[in-house]
Structure 1
Amino acid sequence: MIHIFPTHRAVRSFYASFSSQDTFLPKAMSIAEFFKKALIVEGKVQAEEEMRLLLMQQAVAFDAFETLNIPQHFMAFVKNASYVFRFFEELSAEEKTIADLEGADVYAQFAEHLALLKQVYENYTHALDAQGLYDTITFPLYARMDETFVFTCKAITVHLEGYLSSFEWRVLEEMGRLVPLHVKLVATPYNEKVLQVLRARGIDLKIGEEAQIRLGGDDFSTSPCSLSAPCAKVYPLASRSLQVGFVLDCVARFLQEGLAPEEIVVVLPDEGFASLLRLYDRAYVFNYAMGKPAKELDFVVRLRAKAQDVHQTTQPSLHRMRRLGIEENTREAWKKQWKKPTNFHTFVALIGSFEAEENTIKEQLHEALASLERVLKIAPTLTFSEALTLFLRRLDKMRVDDVMGGPVTVMGVLETRGVHFKGVIVPDFNDDLVPHRSEKDMFLSSTLRHYAGLPDKEDREQLQRYYYSRLFTQASHVAIGYVENEEKLPSRFLQALRTKKERYDESLSQLLLPFVAQKSREETPVLHPHAPFEKPLSATRLKVLLTCKRRYYHRYIQHIKEPPLPKDGIEAVDIGNALHGALEIACAHPEFGASEVKNQALVAHALDATFGTSASWRLEKEIWRERLGVFCANEAERHAKGWHPWKLEESLKSIFEGVHLEGKVDRIDKHLAGRLEVLDYKTGNTLKSGPKAIATMVDFQMQFYYMLASTQGEVERVGYYDLLQGVCVEEEGMEEKLAQLSDILVAYRFVESFEKTDKRAACSYCPYVHLCGRG
């Protein structure tokens, strides 16, 4: 007799139940290990993950695939490949084909997309066959049963917790014809999908029954099983980190109520929360079933730091490199090789040694390198950056065993299958994490899944409800925590539970967590005699000085560079620069202004010259081509009235109140009569400041432009050119504002101290906010 359980932990728990008995232990193994021994593929080798990625990327390398909106470029494809693999893996596991999806009229291009996916599948499977490989997609096609192994089992009992695919059901039924095979399960409201499979085989179970079913035969037995769970205590908390204190507090309470630490489990909907627990687990209370992620290893941290520096060198990346002790020659070697094809020896030399890591992870790292070596032999054109992407992807899935663990277990939801604990603590019970969103659901709609008979979103949610309900019904103490604020909501799964809302005293965190009370920062006045106008003054520098003297001190006296912000797509400043460049090109053309049509043609050509070629840039270009239609019409009207662009992006200097001014003017137009008009392009809402705002003004850009342009002739008007509306808005109150500027230039000729601004709103986006202690 052999017992089959969903996980290795369930096997260990099964063996532990015999610890007080003097008897021979029955044989047990996980279902993954069982299928690995019972099913074999002759004449083929299982493909490693790196090889699968390489072959799939080759399989999608045809022009029509672009219509699926999945990038084909290697680096981008690696990030999105999981959707394609999951799609084919699910079809294979459920023993469906793309033909089973045909006929579902869900959208106009559906048939075309199915044909493309069919071609991808054929390309990929042919590539696997050519290499003598198989993977999870083709395994059901080639696998055959090892009857010798099955007969040695004599009898099999499968302890079913959750869901089996169509392929797995078929394999078990075939085994049931060779040896007695029983499936044990509990019928609950949440495993209806499994109960439907059994009904199709003539077995109708009632909710609340525990059944043992003989596959390959008609007999089955049932017994009543309680589905009632204890009242769960539910704790809303203000932030995620406070949940660490909540978990520690619940452990202490459970121990006080008589539970042994080995009988307590902390279940994580998001296993990333384990890093927070580790941070504060100074007494080694917890053991982590998921282990420690390899990405936290020093070796991997250094690899990612170097890769990030090559991709985008910034001040933070340079500081990180220095902190990690990475030498300059290493940086240069990586940059030199980054886009070049690499061989295995060069790759190993560049990534460096990992011999300083623990022995428990070295073997996995060597296996990852060996796998990459095989890939590079088949694909010698891979660049160093592409090879590194594959290598890091492999490392992201590695785990280091927890060898310093305590008696209280921490595990993910799937690891709870087949085991039970008396005390259950679940943090992160928020709607964005419970239920967990599956990548499988992102490729096919629920309508299409229902049509093809595939598990849909509701089925997966019910399966997760089943895992939690089984965990709770077998416990005597249940505590659930979740974050409740403007961005987070509790999981809707709570509605199906018997709960009692409790209040967690967040002040306990001061006792449970090693928080350090924030020390009051002693304010030391910054005294530094300084003459701001010794050098030519720009409107920007004056604005900083008037907004906050301390910011001015950090920027212009200490010369501390502002750290660049991480970019997510195209930055507004990049679009603004490209737009200014395009308008400079268009307005400089001799025929600009002749007509609206001519203006549109010149602007379109200029946009092509200054905007990028990526998809995002092409989108922005089309948006601005449309927006600038009113600008082109207005320019034709201005031309008819005698105005034409005269100086564009012109750097000028002037003197006002004895102060040397400098700046670059977007545009100066000249009338046929010789008068001048200064225009400053604005791509957002035009800002106008009336007389009441003059006394508190900090931005004197228009006044600077007036003084600078006055060196070129008589300035009639200064204003903003609202590109969205296609109109020019004249600056009002110029004389009063010039008088105010005159007073300011007199008052700030010499500055001795640099105080912080009293207006905290100015600190919101200040790059030096942490230097002032206001971050």
Structure 2
Amino acid sequence: MIHLEGFLSQFEMQVLRKISKKLPITFELNLDSFNQEYYTKLFEIPLEIGFYEIVLFCNKLSYDKIVQNINSKGKESQVQVLEFRDKIAEVGGIFAQIDVWLGQGITPEQICIVLPNEEFAHYLRLFDKARNFNYAMGSALKSSALYRNLKNAIKAQNAQANCNESPQVEEQDSTLAIPNFLDFESFKEFLQNLEANSKEAQRVKEKFLEGLEQFDFALKYLTSLSVQEQILAFLDMIEEVTLDDVGGGRISVVGILETRGMCFPYVIIPEFNAGNVPSLSDKDLFLNTAMREKIGLPTRKSRENLQKHYYAKLLQGSCQAWIMCLSNDENKPSRFLLEDSIFGNSPLLKADTRYSEYFLSGKALNYQECEIVAPLEIKDFSATSLQCFLTCPRKFYYRYILGFKETANEAVNIGSKIHNILKEIYQRTQDYNMDLMYQEFCKEMDKSHSLKESFESALAKKYLKNFFESEKVRLESGWIPFAFEQDFCFEFAGFALKGRIDRIDKRGNEVCVLDYKYKRNLKVESKNYEKATDFQLPIYVLAIQKGAICACNPKQIQAGFYDLYEAQIKREQDLNAKIEVLQEKLETIKKDSKEVNFVLASKREACQYCDFIYLCNRY
């Protein structure tokens, strides 16, 4: 007998039909409004809502509808739907409700946490200090210390072998020395001889050794790779391997698929948000609905209905259920909550603020905006620091006065890499053969330390091909690059303005100051300069006019951003007018510098990717 809850593929049905020629197969089906249509099409027989037993024998079907006594319960009294602002409050709500149930005498085995998105288990593990939960999905092998240390060490060795320098890697466990492996056999011996000082370490080692047995088959096809690359390929293969949670507690934490055929009296379902519910895989986007129907594959609608069936059965078998979802700028509740046949008329309630304070040992303090008034004790600005001050004085205070560091961004690193390579190949060329220069550029860009950097570098090579083609036209028009990465510093309106110009081109008695921008949808500020914050090009032009750049005394100065994505120069509309506005702003800053109110940015768009967003309570 087979109890069906999910889909059967065409191949599985073919296998079952062949088996039925030898012995009968009985299917148990519990049909509701969500899976009725699918099974009617699958078995090609008229089925109504209810419980069925379908017998397949000698490739022929017979079926009976079974009457079951089911005591239905009012959904309004058993389903509670709560809306939270953040994940920590959501976890606090889970723990708080479990406390309530346990206080009522309910046993831990009767409670189940069902995760539409199993990544949420990381949050539960973070706060499950007493190990009360048992995680059906286990833990990923890649999160183990052995895996992390091996991955970091081998990546560093591989980068050093290819580029003669080591990339920045995560800190390693000092108790585990990773040698330089001469061949893959020495790597095997290292794992086999590795000491396991705990049960968990032993299970990790066993998973590595099991993976080695499987990898042996592929190893003979990877002889062209270095030993470090072979080891990295092995680590990539086993990174999704999971370790069973053998030391877990009595409260089950399962994915929605693990609930099929099971019944839990007390259920908590967190993360019931759009994006998690319904859960869609990439394969659902590969073929459209018409094509899927034609070849007999489940459609997106049928997959969504199947998930609705899972949640409906889960809630029907429960005494009490708590549905939790996030509602903020990034997350919205799932539209499945509108299904009255599943959730009844349960209202969406705002969660109590006490859940946010569940893990606090003391009394929570409400955020109070503080005013920061202090003298502006700086004597110089760069274009970047000035833009920061004009956009958000509070960020300027954190970054340039207190010296707080910002998080390094790999996209920014790619931009810096492009700048450096362009500088090198332009400085060492003599005849400006753009075809050869592009080949040199590609060769340098191929020197990457990570997969993400390799991907970004490949994209950059594609976009910069048009840039080098544009450079041919620019050379033909008489413009010759003659200076790169020129530092400057000069006095203006009471401050020293400093910076570095990416490139200066010359044609007769005129020069063109260029700043490379590797940025999509690059826009230059309009003539509404009173609200402008970016004065990079005016500062560059002033540096030329003030003689801060050596061997440069032109009669006419142009300036623009060189858009590397679109391979075109985008110029300011009226540089002289913007220089006047710059002077006014600097004089005002100087005048008020003894007592500056470092206020927050007036527009919250500036806060979206700011590293100090939590300091300002604008997350």
TM-score (norm 1): 0.59
Matched, 1:667 2:489: no
Partner of 1:65: none
Q: CA deviation at 1:632?
A: 4.1
Deviation at 1:189, TM superposition (A): 2.4
The change in CA–CA distance for 1:515 and 1:700 in structure 2 (over 3 A counts) is farther
CA distance in 2, matches of 1:196, 1:483: 37
1:280-311, Cα deviation, whole Å (9 max, x unpaired): 23444432222333333222232344356567
Asked if residue 463 in structure 1 is aligned to residue 306 in structure 2, the reply is: yes
Aligned to 2:450: none
CA–CA distance in 1 between the matches of 2:325 and 2:614? 30
Paired residues of 1:267 and 1:424 also in contact (CA < 8 A)? yes
What is the correspondence of 1:14-25 to structure 2 with a 5 Å cutoff? none
Report what 1:274 is aligned to.
Answer: 121
Q: Which moved more, 1:574-583 or 1:352-361?
A: 574-583
Question: 1:648 maps to what in 2?
Answer: 483
**In structure 1, C-alpha distance between the alignment counterparts of 2:483 and 2:192, rounded to whole Å:** 50
Contact residue 538 and residue 663 of structure 1 kept, 8 A: no
SS at match of 1:732: helix
1:177, CA displacement in angstroms?
Answer: 4.5
Query: 177, 181, 185: which is aligned to 1:344?
Result: 185
CA shift, 1:240, in A, is: 2.7
Matched, 1:679 2:513: yes
Could you tell me which of 594, 616, 621 is aligned with 2:459?
616
Displacement of 1:170 after TM fit?
A: 4.0
2 CA distance for matches of 1:650 and 1:160?
A: 68
1:565 equivalent in alignment to 2:409: yes
* Partner residue, 1:702: 541
Deviation at 1:403, TM superposition (A): 1.9
* Matching of residue 325 in structure 1 with residue 168 in structure 2: no
SS in 2 for 1:403: coil
Report how many residues are paired: 569
Corresponding residue number in structure 2 for 1:206? 48
- Cα distance between partner residues in 2 of 1:712 and 1:311: 44
Distance 1:676 1:229, change over 3 A: same
Q: Deviations over 1:312-345 (max 9, x none)?
A: 89xx9858315x3278x84xx55xx6xxx83222
Corresponding position of 1:389 = 233
Q: Per-residue deviation at 1:506?
A: 3.2
User: Using a 3 Å threshold, how does the CA distance of structure 1 residues 663 and 235 change in structure 2: closer, same or farther?
Assistant: closer
Corresponding residue to 2:42 among 197, 217, 226:
197
Task: Mark the CA change 1:575 to 1:164 in structure 2 (over 3 Å): closer, same or farther.
Answer: same
* Contact 1:355–1:362, Cα closer than 8 Å, also in 2: yes
Q: 2:26 aligns with which of 170, 179, 182?
A: 182
Partner of 1:355: 196
Answer yes or no: is 1:401 the counterpart of 2:250. no
Q: Summarize the Cα distance change of 1:696–1:160 in structure 2 as closer, same or farther, 3 Å threshold.
A: closer
Q: Judging changes above 3 Å, is the alpha-carbon distance between structure 1 residues 666 and 211 closer, same or farther for their aligned structure 2 residues?
A: same
Q: CA 1:181/1:267 → structure 2, altered by over 3 Å: closer, same or farther?
A: same
CA distance in 1, matches of 2:330, 2:613: 25
Residue aligning to 1:165:
9
Q: State the Cα distance separating 1:271 from its structure 2 match.
A: 1.4
The amino acid of 1:393's aligned partner reads M
Give CA deviations for 1:319-375 in whole Å, capped at 9, x if unaligned. 8315x3278x84xx55xx6xxx83222355389836134244443332223333454
Compared with structure 1, are the counterparts of its residues 238 and 308 closer, same or farther at alpha carbon in structure 2 (3 Å cutoff)?
farther
SS in 2 for 1:164: coil
Q: Deviations over 1:528-573 (max 9, x none)?
A: xx9979xxx9777888899747644676xxxx986531349x8445
Alignment of 1:288-307 (within 5 A): 288-306=135-153
- Quick one: which of 362, 366, 372 aligns to 2:209? 366
Cα offset, 1:744, TM superposition: 11
Query: SS state of the match for residue 147, structure 2?
Result: helix
1:123 corresponds in structure 2 to: none
Q: Separation in 2 of the partners of 1:678 and 1:267?
A: 62
**1:507 aligned to 2:342?**
no
Q: Does 1:477 align with 2:320?
A: yes
AA paired with 2:9? S
**Quick one: distance in 1 between partners of 2:582 and 2:307?**
69
1:206 maps to a residue whose letter is: E
CA distance in 2, matches of 1:735, 1:173: 82
How far off its partner does 1:432 sit?
A: 0.8
Gaps of 5+ in 2: 161-165, 447-456, 563-567
Q: Give the aligned partner of residue 428 of structure 1.
A: 271
- 1:310 to 1:461, Cα distance in 2 relative to 1, 3 A: farther
Segments of structure 1 that go 5 or more residues without pairing to the other structure are: 1-156, 591-601
- Aligned equivalents of 1:605 and 1:378: distance in 2? 35
- For 2:211 and 2:244, how far apart are their aligned partners in 1? 14
2:259, 2:310 within 8 Å by CA — same for their partners in 1? yes
Alpha-carbon distance change, 230 to 318 in structure 1, aligned in 2, over 3 angstroms: farther
Map of 1:142 onto structure 2: none
Q: Distance in 2 between matches of 1:449 and 1:233?
A: 37
Assess if the C-alpha contact under 8 Å between 2:273 and 2:326 holds in 1. Answer: yes
Aligned to 1:287, what secondary structure does the other structure show? strand
Distance 1:349 1:247 in 2: 43
Distance (Å, rounded) in 2 between the aligned partners of 1:164 and 1:459:
12
Give the CA deviation at 1:433: 1.4
2:560 partner amino acid: Y
**RMSD between aligned residues:** 5.2
Partner Cα separation in structure 2 for residue 421 and residue 235 of structure 1:
20
Question: Does the 8 Å CA contact 2:132/2:248 hold for their aligned counterparts?
Answer: no
- Deviation, structure 1 residue 676: 4.9
How far is the alpha carbon of 1:425 from its aligned partner?
Answer: 1.9
Cα offset, 1:411, TM superposition: 0.9
Q: Cα distance, 1:418 vs. partner? A: 1.5
For residue 320 of structure 1, what is the amino acid of its counterpart?
E
Would the aligned equivalents of 2:399 and 2:405 in 1 still touch at CA under 8 Å?
no
Q: Check whether the contact 1:690–1:733 (CA below 8 A) recurs between aligned residues.
A: no
Alpha carbons 2:141, 2:238 under 8 Å: kept = no
Identify the residue that residue 258 of structure 2 maps to in structure 1.
415
Correspondence 1:709-724 to 2 at 5 A: 712=551, 714-721=553-560, 723=562, 724=568
Residues 552 and 460 of structure 1: CA distance in aligned 2, closer, same or farther (over 3 Å)? closer
Q: 1:184 corresponds to which letter in structure 2?
A: E
Q: 1: distance between equivalents of 2:292 and 2:86?
A: 37
Correspondences of 1:572-583 after superposition (within 5 Å): 572-574=415-417
Identify which of 324, 329, 333 aligns with 1:490.
Answer: 333
Query: Structure 1 residues 572, 230: closer, same or farther in 2, change over 3 A?
Result: farther
**TM norm structure 2:** 0.72
Contact residue 512 and residue 557 of structure 2 kept, 8 A: yes
Secondary structure, aligned partner of 2:273? coil
Cα separation, 1, equivalents of 2:554 and 2:221 = 70
Change (3 A) 1:515 1:306: farther
Within 5 Å, give how 1:101-112 maps onto structure 2.
Answer: none
User: Matched residues in 1 for 2:108 and 2:15: separation?
Assistant: 40
